[in-house]
Structures are given as structure tokens and as C-alpha cells.
A and B are shown apart, each in its own frame.
Chain A
Amino acid sequence: MAFLEIRNLCKRFGAAEVLKRIDLSLERGGFLVLVGPSGCGKSTLLNTIAGLETVSEGEIRINGRRVNELRPSDRDIAMVFQSYALYPNMTVAQNIAFGLEMRGVPKAERERAVREVAETLQISRLLARRPSQLSGGQRQRVAMGRALVRKPQVFLFDEPLSNLDAKLRVDMRTEIKQLHLNLGTTIVYVTHDQVEAMTLASVIAVLKDGEVQQFGTPEKIYNEPANIFVADFMGSPSMNLVSVDVVRANGATAVALARADGEPALLQVADSNGALRERAGQSVILGIRPEAVTDIDGADRHARNVVRVACIAEVVEPTGSDTYVVAKLGGRDFVARMRADADVAPKSQTVFAFNMDRAAFFDPKTELRIA
């Protein structure tokens, strides 16, 4: 039995179904990230776990105990909010101790706990200040302190880094990961930033329109996306998704990728499950990430199936660490990531190396992955 179990959860606001049949589980000490675009229901899901919203159907269990009927303060959870939600008229110390105070923890013990947590988060010198006197990053730490001090079974984070500037966000992200490693706490974390999801999570649930699109480890989500939405949403720059025709030639299966100038390029595929062979003559969606399309020398040497395609490089974007080359393939802008010193001139003929080991194929109608 997992530590946190969500079974068949539905949430309706009047007639609108905001969460549809959610099934998730998280083992003790795991880090579950709920990620998805705005309005996908991730915050609502978090609020139901917290007890701030009721559940229309289904069950939530924490450590084997059903919590649907319990008030938030009885579920042994703590939450860190996007806008930190610090009590403005109390000092940092009082903010952190408030939950303990409401539980009737005696003063001496409260003060000890506060000091301990402040040490861990390095905010000891801020204890006498008011929230209005703190910077964004400091407030974030106080919010985390307030959650930590209660030693709950599950920590909930609701987009805690969204209000911070880019650099601070990266620093705090590392700190959160460090905290998780050191304390071994069970965490459910909501974000719309897929980079945060990838770096922090032990499991990711990608949500769209109240449904779980895919639930798995970051590695699986990234390399074996279950559908087009997941494939497109995760990864930056996003996965190239183009329409290709399946062709059978000489007993082998290949897909034809249209080129702006000249004949379509033929990309051989190792069709291990035969799904593509069945669709010979039809079109499917090819998904391949920019880092799998490189210059010849940059291609993965351990890859089994690398296909070379020559076409015109439309736009060349050097970033210092890589060179992004955009070409018109499959009727769309196609992004390839080449090495920084790859010698590519705009509007010139270039050879692209497609690592077909890393290619994914999707059914155009159902949008599900087929190979």
C-alpha cells in the first residue's frame, strides 16, 4: 500500500467536472509533481488532498488512513502557498509557531521547534521581523519553515516558486531538492513549469483538463510520452511533431518526411511492435526531440539507427553552448540541436543526423503513442 493513495477521485463544481477519475499513488519519501497548463486542475487536486476542497467521488488515503472526512488540520499535512500566505501582523517566529500554538503545544517546546527549523533554513536572524520586511526568497523560506515545523506526513507545495525571479527560482529549486534528500519527506508539488517537474520529481503526473495524461518517472515521461500532449508539454525546446507517411520498401518499414526542397527523406525505423507496419500507406505523427537531431559528428555513437537527411537550414541560432538549427521539414519549422562549433550557414544545405532510436510515433486521431 502506498503512502499516499488517490483512488478514482472526481471533483465537480456544480455541473462542471473539474477532476475526472484521478488515480495516483506515492510511496513514502517520494516527490510527486503535478504538472500541467493553467486550468488543468492541478491546484484543485492539491486542495482536495489538503482538505481545503471537498471530494465529489473517490477516496484519498494517507498512510492507510482514509482522510476524505477529516478537516485540513487533522490530516497531518502542511502546505506552502504560491504567495506564501504569511500572517502579516505576526513576526516570523510567531508565523512559524502558529500551527503549533493552535494545537496547544507548550511555549518552551514551540520556541525550541522554531529555533530548530530556523537553523535548518538559515533564517535564524529573521525571527523577530515581520513579513513585510522580508524579501521574496526569505518569505519563501519562512513559509517552508511553517510547514516543516509541524513534521507532517505529507508536504504540499502549490507553485511556491512562481513569484520569484528566474535566478532565485533556480536556487530555491535546488534547496527544495536538497531538503527532500536530507529529510526524506513525502511531497506533493504543483507547478506549471516542466523544468521544475523534471528536476524535482521522483514521479510526475501530467494533467490536462482534469485528467491524468500520464503518470510515471521523469525519465519515462520524457522519453516515452504516452500521447502528443505529454510529448509536447515536457521538454524545452519542445519535441518536434510532424506528420509523416508510413512506407514499406524492401521488407523494411520507413517513414517519409517531406522536405521543402526536393524529395521526401526516408527515415528507416526499427518497428519492434509492428504497429507501423500495420499502418503502411497511412500517415502518423513523428515525434523527435531537438537533441536527437544533430550534426553528424554530434550524433550519439551508441545509437543503433541514425539516418542522415540533407536539407536547407533556414535559421541558425547560436546560444554559446549549442547551435539550434531550424529547417522546414514535414511542412513545419523543425528544430535540431547541433554542437556549438558545428559549421552551419543559414540558407545552406546541411546534413542532419536523426537518431531514430529516440523517435516516437503517435496516431494522428487518438494522439496516443503507438511506437
Chain B
Amino acid sequence: MTGAAAPAPASTVLVRAAIYTLLLIFAVYYLLPLFVMVVNSLKELNEIRQGNMLALPQQVTIEPWKSAWSTAQIGVQPTGLRPYFLNSIMMVVPAVAISTLLGALNGYVLTKWRFRGDTVIFGLMLFACFIPFQIVLIPMARILGMIGLAGTTPGLVLVHIVYGLGFTTLFFRNYYAAFPTELVKAAQVDGAGFFRIFGRILLPSSGPIIVVTVIWQFTNIWNDFLFGASFADFDSLPMTVALNNLVSSSTGVKEYNVHFAGAIMAALPTLLVYIVAGRYFVRGLMAGAVKG
């Protein structure tokens, strides 16, 4: 907003002070849970029970972290979260890579090789992004059983690829729609074919959207719970399900510090991605809201 010519009267200073104060209060609101998690993950259990959740640890201990990683009771196994962390990684990496690649190809086809009915096809793929996943749980469980992938990591990878295709296609399609078609036509005149145009012309300029898509997929797949809870076995259980298992167990002593440590561990990868490339994450959010 451009300022008025008059020198700032008192009311404007007051208003600005109020604005800053409110903004700071909200910053505290957003940071508080994170602060609580970090701080309490480093405390002894009795300190949490007797003390103030907001206070810094009187005695810092990393035992909760060690426990959460390797010895905490998840389900029937006292293995900590480590094996499930690895499960998540083995699930996420192929799922992100394949769904991104397919999305790119689909977006390419839908924008540069138009044919009759392609808007309908895109519309159908787009709507598929937004279905409540509960509607596919039952048949998916059956199919996974039928093809022998029930409870396995490849099974989860398949599930995430399938249900990520809608979004990845959306991202690339919107990005390539703004890409000048003249370049493609010029390349065709030069004799380049379908894949060569893709590989030599579109893909090299796709840096930003690839980052956005990868971040979006990574975040969503890593953070997923429903599919993991429905289709995974102990061999393939992802991190989020294991965490919930750890936290929601109704037996025994509630080891809050271990829970918090585990939660941070589960959150770290996506948080790191956000810190490093947050800008792209936001772009994905905006694009995912379909407005364009």
C-alpha cells in the first residue's frame, strides 16, 4: 500500500503496532506445538508429569530419542521406529519418481498433442484427485490380495502411484499449457518425434514444476496414514502408522517424551524439504487448489 503524503499521525503508529503484535501472537500459536514437542522430547518422564509442559528441560536427555528410534514398543515388536522409517523411504522414493514421470508424460500429451475428448479425459483424471479414499479401500484391498501384493511395500507403491497420478498430471498439464506450442511445432518440422521433443525440449525446461511435483508427492505420500493403515503389514508399515501405533497404545505407561521424539522423527523429512524448498511447496499448494 502506498503511503499518504501526510506524516504518520499517532493512530497509524498505533495501528501498525497492533498489527505487529497480532502477527507475533499468531507466530507463537503456530510455533508452540513444535516447541512443546522438541522441548518435551528431551525431558525425563517424571519431569513431564510433574512439571510445566512449556518449560525448558531441567535435565536434557536424549534417551527418548534413542528409545523412539530403536527400542520403543510398536505393536508387538520393541524395535523402535527405525525399521518403519526405512519402510517409508522404500515406499516413497519409487512412488514419487514413477508418478512424477508419468504425470509429466500425461501433461505433455494433454497439452501438446490435442485430440478429441482430451478435455473429458483430463476432467475425469482431475476429479479422481479429490475422491475420498474411503471409497476405494475395499476393492483395493481385494485387488492387492488377488495380485499377491497385499501387505507389501510394492503394493503400497502401486497404490500411491495410482492415486497420485491425478495431481501430478494436473501440475504438469497446467505448466505445459503455458509452454509455447510453437517450439513443439518447430521441432516437428525439424523432424523430431514424440519422445525426442519431450526429452530435448520440454523436460529440460521443466525444472520448477518437477521440483513442485516431487515435493508435493513426497509430502503427501510420506504423510499418508489411511493407505498405510489399510494395506500394510508389519514388513511394510510406514512411519506414520507406526507412530500412531506407538502413541495410541492403551497399555502400559504413556511415555510422552518418546512419543514426541517419534513424532519429530516422522516430521523431519517433510519439514526439511519445506525449509529447503518451501517456495516450491507453496507453489504446489496453490496449483493443487486448481486455480490455475
- Identify the A interface with B (CB < 8 A): 48, 51-55, 67-72
Q: Knowing that A54-B5, A70-B6 are A-B contacts, what are 12 other residue pairs whose CB atoms are under 8 Å apart, sorted by A's residue number? A: A48-B5, A51-B4, A51-B5, A53-B2, A69-B5, A69-B6, A69-B7, A70-B5, A71-B4, A71-B6, A72-B4, A72-B5
Please give me the residue from chain A that is nearest to B2 by CB atom: A52
Please give me the residue from chain A that is nearest to B4 by CB atom: A71
B3 contacts A by Cβ under 8 Å: yes
B6 contacts across to A, CB distance below 8 A: 69-71
In the complex, which of the residues B3, B4, B5, B6 has the most CB atoms of chain A within 10 Å of its own CB atom? B5
A71 contacts across to B, CB distance below 8 A: 4-6
Nearest 3 A-B pairs (CB), nearest first?
Answer: A51-B5, A71-B4, A54-B5
Would you give 23 A-B contacts (Cβ < 8 Å), ordered by A? A48-B5, A51-B4, A51-B5, A52-B2, A52-B4, A52-B5, A53-B2, A53-B5, A54-B3, A54-B5, A55-B5, A67-B5, A68-B5, A69-B5, A69-B6, A69-B7, A70-B5, A70-B6, A71-B4, A71-B5, A71-B6, A72-B4, A72-B5
Give complex CA distance A55, B5 in Å.
7
State the Cβ distance, A102 to closest chain B Cβ, in Å.
14
Give complex CA distance A278, B4 in Å.
53
Give complex CA distance A68, B7 in Å.
10
A72 contacts across to B, CB distance below 8 A: 4-5
State the Cβ distance, B139 to closest chain A Cβ, in Å.
47
A54 contacts across to B, CB distance below 8 A: 3, 5
Please give me the residue from chain B that is nearest to A73 by CB atom: B4
State the Cβ distance, B159 to closest chain A Cβ, in Å.
45
- Identify the B interface with A (CB < 8 A): 2-7
Please give me the residue from chain B that is nearest to A48 by CB atom: B5
Please give me the residue from chain B that is nearest to A69 by CB atom: B6
State the Cβ distance, A286 to closest chain B Cβ, in Å.
46
State the Cβ distance, B10 to closest chain A Cβ, in Å.
15
Give complex CA distance A48, B6 in Å.
11
A55 contacts across to B, CB distance below 8 A: 5
Give complex CA distance A90, B7 in Å.
32
Give complex CA distance A72, B5 in Å.
8
Give complex CA distance A358, B3 in Å.
48
Give complex CA distance A54, B6 in Å.
7
B2 contacts across to A, CB distance below 8 A: 52-53
State the Cβ distance, B178 to closest chain A Cβ, in Å.
23
State the Cβ distance, B96 to closest chain A Cβ, in Å.
41
Please give me the residue from chain B that is nearest to A51 by CB atom: B5
State the Cβ distance, B234 to closest chain A Cβ, in Å.
57
A53 contacts across to B, CB distance below 8 A: 2, 5
Give complex CA distance A44, B4 in Å.
14
Give complex CA distance A67, B4 in Å.
12
In the complex, which of the residues A54, A67, A70 has the most CB atoms of chain B within 10 Å of its own CB atom? A54
A48 contacts across to B, CB distance below 8 A: 5
B3 contacts across to A, CB distance below 8 A: 54
Please give me the residue from chain A that is nearest to B5 by CB atom: A51
State the Cβ distance, A176 to closest chain B Cβ, in Å.
26
Please give me the residue from chain B that is nearest to A74 by CB atom: B6
Please give me the residue from chain A that is nearest to B7 by CB atom: A69
State the Cβ distance, A60 to closest chain B Cβ, in Å.
9
A67 contacts across to B, CB distance below 8 A: 5
State the Cβ distance, A161 to closest chain B Cβ, in Å.
23
Give complex CA distance A48, B3 in Å.
11
State the Cβ distance, B9 to closest chain A Cβ, in Å.
10
Please give me the residue from chain B that is nearest to A67 by CB atom: B5
Give complex CA distance A59, B3 in Å.
18
Give complex CA distance A53, B5 in Å.
6
Give complex CA distance A48, B4 in Å.
10
Give complex CA distance A229, B5 in Å.
32
State the Cβ distance, A23 to closest chain B Cβ, in Å.
19
State the Cβ distance, A326 to closest chain B Cβ, in Å.
36
State the Cβ distance, A250 to closest chain B Cβ, in Å.
63
State the Cβ distance, B38 to closest chain A Cβ, in Å.
40
Please give me the residue from chain A that is nearest to B6 by CB atom: A69
State the Cβ distance, A68 to closest chain B Cβ, in Å.
6
Give complex CA distance A120, B8 in Å.
40
Give complex CA distance A55, B4 in Å.
10
B4 contacts across to A, CB distance below 8 A: 51-52, 71-72
B5 contacts across to A, CB distance below 8 A: 48, 51-55, 67-72
State the Cβ distance, B248 to closest chain A Cβ, in Å.
49
A69 contacts across to B, CB distance below 8 A: 5-7
Give complex CA distance A72, B4 in Å.
7
State the Cβ distance, B41 to closest chain A Cβ, in Å.
46
State the Cβ distance, B4 to closest chain A Cβ, in Å.
5
State the Cβ distance, B272 to closest chain A Cβ, in Å.
37
Give complex CA distance A72, B2 in Å.
11
Give complex CA distance A70, B7 in Å.
9
B7 contacts across to A, CB distance below 8 A: 69
State the Cβ distance, B1 to closest chain A Cβ, in Å.
11
Give complex CA distance A69, B3 in Å.
12
State the Cβ distance, B67 to closest chain A Cβ, in Å.
56
A52 contacts across to B, CB distance below 8 A: 2, 4-5
State the Cβ distance, A25 to closest chain B Cβ, in Å.
20
State the Cβ distance, B117 to closest chain A Cβ, in Å.
31
Give complex CA distance A309, B3 in Å.
60
Please give me the residue from chain B that is nearest to A50 by CB atom: B5
State the Cβ distance, A11 to closest chain B Cβ, in Å.
11
Give complex CA distance A53, B6 in Å.
9
State the Cβ distance, A85 to closest chain B Cβ, in Å.
13
Please give me the residue from chain A that is nearest to B3 by CB atom: A54
Give complex CA distance A69, B4 in Å.
9
State the Cβ distance, A101 to closest chain B Cβ, in Å.
20
